[in-house]
């Protein structure tokens, strides 16, 4: 079987600020629309043939071929011969189209993607799509002064669901809130940025959700930095003190040197006083008995009242605000504008929505995550929940343990734990495991995977070890 070779071009032109492509209709097969193309003549190179076909079929001379673009399309002709068409990308210039009447019946300049809908065969649409991506990736365009390469003037991305709550106070704790003041970008802005960087690879990760999930899985983080969020926050100073440790945000906080401190302090209800955690020096355990809580809440109210009164007395006596504030409690509310990009916001949420974070800041983080980010960039939020927030990452030791336990080999699991130094016994109580934080965390992770640790009862190292523990 013979091979027929032809060449042609995706011819583009800017019309009213938008990128248009030329589609032509065959005279022999009326209703068949495609790109300009024709067979190679004897002694011609492929680009020479494309240039000649453009001049003959549509009367355009002096078109500019963009180096680096070449797209091959192969198909079988009714005769049984194989046909190869090599397409180039060419700027058509301003010349008038003059059709070769024997070959072509009509032509149209259409923007992408409308032009693809006109083409009779999808191959022509794919060539144009590749051409648009090629231009979007900065190879060959855009000409100076053009706003958009994709055929449409750029519109400011927005998230309708977030617009609905813009400026609305989302309550947190007894008198705190977060309020979206402004934002930049949305899921599409993440995709748009990623596609520039992937260029041709975009074909393999073509849909937006798939691409965002891919980026999140592989920690390709910069596309998420294309989105920014500005919040107005009101939080008690102890939570704010933790919040402000996130250095990648821009912050402007109310100044208690300049202004009088906010006359509000976070009050803990009697049922919400927490005991000190036994295993974690930083965290809380259960709840303090309600009767004790009543007393603590009353004492707190007294203290806050008195602190405010002393502060006011100092102000009334003419003391400078910067000095008068020194004995205000950490429960006093402060307010700030806080601006951060989505990548760093997700890092903040990963740390501050985690069970290890203090409950008060966790409440803020939960509202920001579930009420704001979920509305703003739902695909990124879903991917974040799947791959970070609710994901489990396993250490090398844990991975080996899971493999052993999943294969039903408890003895191998014991050996791995022993080699890791996890099964040492208490000197004072032989037969009981010594405290080991890494082991305790691994036990919790194994339990969540339905694989109880073989060396004990999963009680954080406090239970009786199974036989074989050294």
Ligand X SMILES: Cc1cc2nc3c(=O)[nH]c(=O)nc-3n(C[C@H](O)[C@H](O)[C@H](O)COP(=O)(O)OP(=O)(O)OC[C@H]3O[C@@H](n4cnc5c(N)ncnc54)[C@H](O)[C@@H]3O)c2cc1C
Instruction: Give the interface with ligand X as residue ranges (CB under 6 A).
Output: 245-248, 282, 344, 347, 351, 356-357
Q: Minimum distance between the CB of residue 213 and ligand X, rounded to whole angstroms?
A: 22
Nearer to ligand X by Cβ, of 248 and 392: the residue is 248
Q: Minimum distance between the CB of residue 154 and ligand X, rounded to whole angstroms?
A: 30
Nearer to ligand X by Cβ, of 79 and 248: the residue is 248
Nearer to ligand X by Cβ, of 98 and 356: the residue is 356
Question: Is 10 within 8 Å of 127 (Cβ atoms)?
Answer: yes
In the set 308, 352, 363, 439, the catalytic residue is: 352
How many other C-beta atoms can be found within 10 angstroms of the C-beta atom of residue 461? 23
Q: Minimum distance between the CB of residue 347 and ligand X, rounded to whole angstroms?
A: 5
Q: Which long-range contacts (CB under 8 A, 24 or more apart) does 137-143 make?
A: 137/196, 137/199, 138/196, 139/66, 139/68, 139/69, 140/66, 140/67, 140/68, 140/69, 140/89, 141/66, 142/19, 143/14
Question: Is 317 within 8 Å of 267 (Cβ atoms)?
Answer: no
Reduced to 3 states, what is the DSSP secondary structure of residue 90? strand
Question: Is 278 within 8 Å of 287 (Cβ atoms)?
Answer: no
Q: Minimum distance between the CB of residue 194 and ligand X, rounded to whole angstroms?
A: 21
Nearer to ligand X by Cβ, of 283 and 378: the residue is 283
Nearer to ligand X by Cβ, of 373 and 401: the residue is 373
Distance in angstroms (rounded) separating the CA atoms of residues 12 and 118: 16
Q: Which residues have a Cβ under 8 Å from the Cβ of 135 and sit 6 or more positions away?
A: 12, 19, 89, 141, 142, 149
Nearer to ligand X by Cβ, of 76 and 356: the residue is 356
Spell out the alpha helix ranges (H) of 21-144: 46-58, 114-118, 122-136
**Closest listed residue to residue 341, CA positions, set 425, 226, 448:** 226
Q: Minimum distance between the CB of residue 249 and ligand X, rounded to whole angstroms?
A: 7
Q: Minimum distance between the CB of residue 95 and ligand X, rounded to whole angstroms?
A: 54
263 torsion bin: left (phi>0), alpha (psi -120 to 50), beta (else): beta
Q: Kindly report the backbone phi and psi dihedral angles of residue 108, in degrees, each rounded to the nearest multiple of 5, phi listed first.
A: -145, 140
Question: Is 9 within 8 Å of 63 (Cβ atoms)?
Answer: yes
Nearer to ligand X by Cβ, of 282 and 291: the residue is 282
How many other C-beta atoms can be found within 10 angstroms of the C-beta atom of residue 1? 8
Decide if 396 is catalytic. Answer: no
Cis peptide before 421 (omega within 30 of 0): no
Q: Minimum distance between the CB of residue 242 and ligand X, rounded to whole angstroms?
A: 7
Distance in angstroms (rounded) separating the CA atoms of residues 128 and 22: 10
Q: Minimum distance between the CB of residue 223 and ligand X, rounded to whole angstroms?
A: 17
Which three-class secondary structure string do you get for 141-164?
CCCCCCCCCCCCCCCCCCCHHHHC
Give how far Cα 408 sits from Cα of 402, 414, 420, Å: 10, 12, 20
Q: What are the DSSP calls for 317-343, one per residue?
A: TT--HHHHGGG--TTBEEEEEEEEEHH
Residue number of the CB atom closest to ligand X: 247
Task: With both helix axes pointing from N to C terminus, report the angle between 208-217 and 187-198 in degrees, rounded to the nearest 10.
Answer: 80
Distance in angstroms (rounded) separating the CA atoms of residues 222 and 215: 9
Which sequence positions are flagged as catalytic? 352
């Amino acid at each position: 079987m013979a091979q027929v070779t032809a060449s042609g071009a995706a011819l583009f032109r800017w019309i009213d600020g938008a990128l248009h492509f030329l589609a032509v209709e065959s005279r022999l097969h009326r209703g068949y629309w495609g790109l300009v193309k024709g067979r190679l003549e004897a002694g011609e190179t492929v680009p020479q043939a494309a240039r000649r076909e453009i001049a003959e079929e549509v009367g355009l001379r002096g078109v500019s071929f963009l180096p680096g673009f070449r797209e091959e399309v192969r198909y079988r002709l009714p005769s049984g011969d194989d046909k190869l068409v090599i397409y180039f990308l060419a700027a058509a210039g301003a010349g008038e189209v003059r059709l070769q009447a024997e070959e072509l019946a009509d032509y149209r300049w259409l923007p992408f993607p409308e032009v693809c809908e006109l083409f009779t065969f999808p191959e022509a649409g794919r060539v144009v799509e590749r051409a648009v991506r090629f231009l979007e990736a900065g190879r060959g365009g855009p000409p100076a002064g053009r706003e958009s390469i994709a055929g449409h003037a750029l519109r400011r991305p927005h998230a309708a669901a977030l617009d609905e709550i813009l400026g609305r106070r989302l309550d947190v704790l007894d008198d705190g809130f977060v309020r979206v003041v402004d934002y930049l970008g949305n899921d599409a802005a993440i995709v748009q940025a990623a596609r520039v960087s992937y260029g041709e690879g975009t074909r393999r990760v073509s849909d937006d959700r798939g691409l965002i999930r891919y980026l999140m899985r592989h920690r390709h983080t910069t596309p998420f930095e294309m989105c920014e969020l500005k919040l107005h926050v009101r939080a008690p100073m102890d939570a704010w003190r933790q919040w402000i440790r996130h250095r990648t945000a821009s912050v402007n906080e109310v100044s208690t040197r300049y202004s009088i401190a906010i006359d509000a302090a976070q009050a803990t209800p009697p049922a919400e006083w927490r005991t000190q955690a036994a295993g974690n020096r930083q965290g809380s355990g259960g709840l303090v008995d309600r009767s004790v809580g009543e007393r603590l809440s009353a004492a707190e109210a007294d203290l806050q009242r008195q602190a405010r009164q002393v502060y006011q007395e100092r102000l009334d006596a003419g003391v400078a605000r910067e000095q008068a504030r020194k004995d205000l409690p950490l429960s006093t509310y402060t307010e700030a504008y806080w601006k951060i990009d989505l990548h760093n916001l997700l890092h903040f949420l990963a740390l501050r929505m985690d069970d290890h974070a203090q409950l008060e800041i966790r409440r803020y983080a939960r509202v920001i995550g579930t009420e704001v980010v979920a509305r703003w960039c739902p695909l990124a939020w879903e991917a974040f929940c799947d791959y970070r927030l609710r994901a489990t990452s396993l250490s090398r030791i844990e991975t080996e343990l899971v493999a052993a336990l999943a294969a039903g080999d408890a003895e191998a699991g014991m050996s791995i734990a022993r080699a890791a130094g996890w099964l040492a016994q208490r000197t004072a109580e032989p037969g009981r495991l010594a405290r080991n934080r890494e082991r305790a965390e691994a036990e919790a992770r194994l339990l969540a995977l339905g694989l109880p640790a073989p060396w004990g009862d999963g009680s954080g190292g406090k239970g009786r070890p199974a036989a074989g523990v050294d």
